[in-house]
Structure 1
Amino acid sequence: MTLSLKLPRTNGASEDYRLIGTPIARPAARPHFNRIAYAAAHVVSDPLRDIDPWGKPAIDWDATMAFRHHLWSLGFKIAEAMDTAQRGMGLDWAGAQELIRRSLAEARTVEGADLACGAGTDQLDPADARSLDDVIKAYETQIGFIEKHGGRAIMMASRALARVAKSPDDYRKVYGHILGQTREKVVLHWLGEMFDPQLAGYWGGGSFEDALQTVLGIIGDNRDKVEGIKISLLDGAKEVALRDCLPEGVLCFTGDDFNYAELIEGDGRRFSHALLGIFDAVAPSASKALAALAAGDTATFRGVIEPTVPLSRRIFEAPTQYYKAGVVFLAWLNGHQRHFTMPAGMQSARGLLHYADIFRLADQANVLDQPDLAVRRMKNFLAVLGE
């Protein structure tokens, strides 16, 4: 039976929308990829315990951990406590510590499970940062915590560093100091200001070419401590420029939620690995596509992954930092959580028309895992928001 519902349009009218998608079947066993694929995972709030959702949001730890098992079963590594988990936008350092502790412990119960954890400086209010030493101490605290619990770090971009740094040399000093003392190799993170406006001028300001030289200098000086770098600029040409300049053995992880399909496939010479927030939302499709690519079936890779790109572009549209709302919306539609609420009430960051488009595009990309459930929940959502 064909499923349908009324969805609003931008002209104020409604349309009778008929679903056309086919859910992606789950693999019988954890698939093999020939690309390293991290899914940046979200956290599930607990509205029944949420007393102060903006200040100290309550987390549903059972649902949060269950979602990580979902990602591991599909072959993904997890990028934990990153911006997809609302670091700096609802989840503070205390909450991140609990998330990191729990996820590292959970991973040890799953054969083959792997994760790396975001280390930043978000316990230091940028307005309180007075020196580079303040930033260094904040990074040391977070990386020390991750390593103490047996984890590996992803060195996230720092709002405090963006505020106090005066030149590229200041970035070289901070990154060199931190990388000089880490036990494990670290993944660096080049996050564009479209994801976080407070990171404008990161790496010392100037042009992209100037920033690129600073980044390459830091990597060259600390090559034995850098596993790779995630670049999130939503510009495929800039990622390729970085990728082509990286030293042998240093990996490029795409964080480009607009152009990931072509960047992961590569250009015949080089390709990008992946560390993506969109993989949280389209995990079954991405898993099937990556498994096909590993088997040499490029046609299936393209046929499965390319329909998810329009969906991802809508989720990550400007203001891009609110993409988390679309990711969690799809987790709710797909039955991974019982509600659509988020830490800090972030579900209100997007409007009804945005969510209606996410529903359409998810259906067209075969991303709705349980269409019956998705339709029921979407109808309830529309009723609450006034449709």
Structure 2
Amino acid sequence: MVRKLLLPAEDGTLLTYSAGEASPFPKTAPVPRSRVAYAAAHVVLDAQASEPDQIDWEATLAYRHHLWSLGLAVAEAMDTSQRGMGLSWAQAQQLIQRSISEARSHPGARVACGAGTDQLAPSPAVTLEQVRQAYEEQCGFVESAGGRIILMASRALAACARTPEDYMQVYDHILSQVAQPVIIHWLGDMFDPALAGYWGSSDLDAAMESCLVIIKRHASKVDGVKISLLDAEREIAMRRLLPEGVKMYTGDDFNYADLMLGDEQGHSHALLGIFDAIAPAASAALQQLDAGNIERYMEILAPTVPLSRHIFQAPTYNYKAGIVFLAYLNGHQDHFKMVAGLESARPLSHLARLFVLADQARLLVDPDVASERMHAILLQAGIEQEGGIR
């Protein structure tokens, strides 16, 4: 079967493309030994529900089992799941409870859950005490459900804090109360513009220093820090300043391959949205890294980097559409619809390029199915195909 499609390019022209061979990567793998690897997981919309923005729990949880089967841990209820872009705190609570419960039924499954302040509307009128209370509520919920905490950056805190000391006051309070070590999440404003100036400064050197003060003060309560700044040099610099035993989790969806490989002074672990999309390749690469086969590790991951850079291109926060589209192409859900209609966040030319890059990264599980689904999207957009899929 020839999988020939006419795909729209950004300049308006149509390019002929045929998908190659099916993905060669195993569908199951043990937990990696040399790196901790979290995939921040998306949610699947129930497109048939009578109420808007209902979650298809069966498909959503099945995707978690897919990630766990590949040896990856799940970072639950994070920005990849559309926290702050359509997924409410009430829905996140259900997601956290269901995911933790499912993890208990899957041998070796690991899950950590986002705890933030998104039940509190950001406003300069919000007080630091209200932010603390919101964090306390969410951290308490995650811990009571049996989960590990990823302490998410707070839009409400960014809106009301005036100085680095305001951030330290809130984080000191929360970290002194948590039962188990947490992962602190520093999310850059390219992922969420409402977080500009986080840690009390728009100067990233000063912001990093404030974050490090908090981490060093509470090192026994910090498993690691995830920074999502798309700045490899800054991540490496911060990694070298972390207290002993505190991990760096890369959130750099542009440079993850090199950052996880590391250098003579250390390496990053992973907590990545792109691992949702490239899970089979990420798993296979980490197995090679465990075996000491660095060349094969890089061979597997190198073709995924152009795909990831495409998915996370500006405006970066719309990356969720690409993540879900690839899940649709690979048959993990039967539609390309998203909470809050976010499937419309990227143009068709972007999705067409994603299809090509995913194929080149050997990530199309069944190229025939993926081509048929791409074909249907193209026809829906009014782009006629020459003889269809042949």
Per the normalisation by structure 2, the TM-score is 0.96
Aligned to 2:153: 157
Matches within 5 A, 1:1-387: 1-27=1-27, 29-52=29-52, 57-127=53-123, 129-387=125-383
**CA deviation map 1:240-266 (0-9, x unaligned):** 111011010000000000000000000
Worse-superposed segment, 22-31 or 206-215? 22-31
Shift in CA distance, 2/73, structure 1 to aligned 2, threshold 3 Å: same
What is the Cα deviation at residue 103 of structure 1?
A: 0.4
Counterpart Cα distance in 2 of 1:254 and 1:152: 18
Distance of 2:42 and 2:20 partners within structure 1? 27
Name the CA distance, whole Å, in 2 between partners of 1:306 and 1:242.
24
Amino acid at match of 1:235: D
Change (3 A) 1:350 1:50: farther
Q: Deviations for 1:184-227, whole angstroms, at most 9, x for unmatched residues?
A: 11000010000000000000014111011101100011111000
Identical aligned residues as a percent: 56
Contact 1:252 1:272 in 2 (8 A): yes
Distance 1:91 1:110 in 2: 25
For 1:11, the aligned partner's letter is D
Q: Matches of 1:206 and 1:339 in 2, distance apart? A: 40
Verify the 8 A CA contact 2:24 2:362 in the aligned structure 1: yes
What are the ranges of 5 or more consecutive residues in structure 2 without an aligned counterpart?
384-390
Contact 1:33–1:75 (CA<8 Å) still a contact in 2?
no
**Unpaired segments of 5 or more residues in structure 1?**
none
Report SS of the residue matched to 2:45.
coil
Secondary structure in structure 2 of the residue aligned to 1:117: strand
Q: 3-state SS of the aligned residue for 2:150?
A: strand
Say if 2:28 and 2:69, in contact at 8 Å, map to a contact too.
no
Rounded to whole Å, the distance in 2 between the matches of 1:13 and 1:29 is: 41
RMSD, aligned α-carbons = 1.1
Shift of 1:384: 0.8
The aligned amino acid for 1:377 is R
**Greater CA deviation, 42-51 or 279-288?**
42-51
Greater shift in the superposed pair: 204-213 or 73-82: 204-213
What is the Cα deviation at residue 8 of structure 1?
1.1
Rounded Cα–Cα distance in structure 1 between residues aligned with 2:125 and 2:373: 44
Q: Cα deviations across residues 115-143 of structure 1 (Å, max 9, x unaligned)? A: 00000000000037521001000000000
CA distance in 2, matches of 1:337, 1:162: 36
1:308-361 deviations in Å (ceiling 9; x for gaps): 000000000000000000000000000000100000000000000100110010
SS, match of residue 321 in structure 1: helix
Rounded Cα–Cα distance in structure 1 between residues aligned with 2:152 and 2:143: 15
- Specify the code of the residue in structure 1 equivalent to 2:195: L
Instruction: Determine helix, strand or coil for the equivalent of 1:113.
Output: coil
Q: Residue 36 of structure 2 aligns to which amino acid in structure 1?
A: I
For residues 24 and 163 of structure 2, what CA distance do their matches in structure 1 show?
A: 49
Report the alpha carbon displacement of residue 21 of structure 1 after superposing the two structures with TM: 4.5
Structure 1 residue ranges, 4+ long, deviating more than 4 angstroms after superposition: none
Deviations 1:267-323 (A, max 9, x none): 122100000000000000000001100110001100000100000000000000000
Q: How many correspondences in the alignment? A: 383
Q: 1:271 to 1:385 in 2, by over 3 A?
A: same
Does the Cα contact within 8 Å between 1:120 and 1:157 map onto a contact in 2? Answer: yes
How many angstroms does 1:386 deviate by?
Answer: 2.1
- 2:131 touches 2:157 (CA, 8 Å); kept in 1? yes
SS at match of 1:203: helix
